[in-house]
Amino acid sequence: MNNTILIVEDEPKLASLLADYLRQAGFDTHHIADGLKVEAWVREHAPALLLLDLMLPGKDGLAIARDLRRFTEVPVIMVTAKVEEIDRLLGLELGADDYVCKPFSPREVVARVKTVLRRLNAPQAQPIADGVVLDPLRFRVSAGENSIELTAVEFHLMETLHGEPGRIYSRDQLMDRIYPDNRIVSDRTIDSHIKKLRRKLEGLLPGEELVHSVYGAGYKYEPPV
């Protein structure tokens, strides 16, 4: 899955600050400062989402958003320097998925990005074909004849790890996934949920280790062999 956030922003410091925070949150980023270069890049690379500044050299954010909509549904978060602008932008029905006002906290922007992506991706989430089936309505995981019931937190951890087999998630990334409201929880909280999850998974496929801890890095899911 493409995980790249395209940052269209002509203030280099702001762009690199956003890029830092987004990368910490597990995204790849690309930065474009010139409004005229956006469309070609989007056509070629199909990013997961755009953070689109309104005032840009070359071509402004409004014109870019309008032209993008002719060929792509890529989610767009518009960034504007004026709160008053937002009302006007909403009236234009640009098909932007959210609006952020400068000055913003990078944390807030990352949370918005995640929310937009989660909202868009939720219905299409495809289980991987490894025989381990997740039921998000019941927080239940099954494999063949066996099934186990998880708590909400355990299920979201499982869902995240299982969604990208082999990918190592840091504790911070997992915390972001299960506590999107930026609640402060300690690393130990994640460890203790993972511990309970692993214990339950033993009842699903005895003898198989599905959730692995990676020393000094975090956790990953490996399909059963």
Helices assigned H by DSSP within the chain: 12-24, 38-45, 61-68, 83-92, 106-121, 152-163, 171-178, 187-202
Identify which of residues 50 and 158 has a Cβ nearer to Ca ion in the complex. Answer: 50
The correct pick among 4, 10, 31, 213 for binding Ca ion (CB under 5 A) is 10
Number of amino acids touching Ca ion (CB under 5 A):
3
| Cβ closest to Ca ion, residue 9 vs residue 159 | 9
85 part of the interface to Ca ion, by CB under 5 A: no
Segment 41-60, which members bind Ca ion (CB under 5 A)? Answer: 53, 55
What are the beta bridge partners of residue 8? 32, 52
- Rounded least distance, CB 53 to Ca ion, Å: 4
Angle at 54 between CA 49 and CA 58, to 5 degrees: 100
**Residues linked to residue 49 through DSSP beta bridges, in sequence order:** 5
Which one of the spans 3-11, 29-37, 38-46, 151-159 is the region binding Ca ion (CB under 5 A)?
Answer: 3-11
Q: With contact defined as beta carbons under 8 Å apart, do 3 and 28 qualify?
A: yes
Q: What are phi and psi of 148, to 5 degrees?
A: -130, 155
Shortest reach from residue 8's CB to Ca ion, in Å: 9
> Which residues contribute to the site for Ca ion (CB under 5 A)?
10, 53, 55
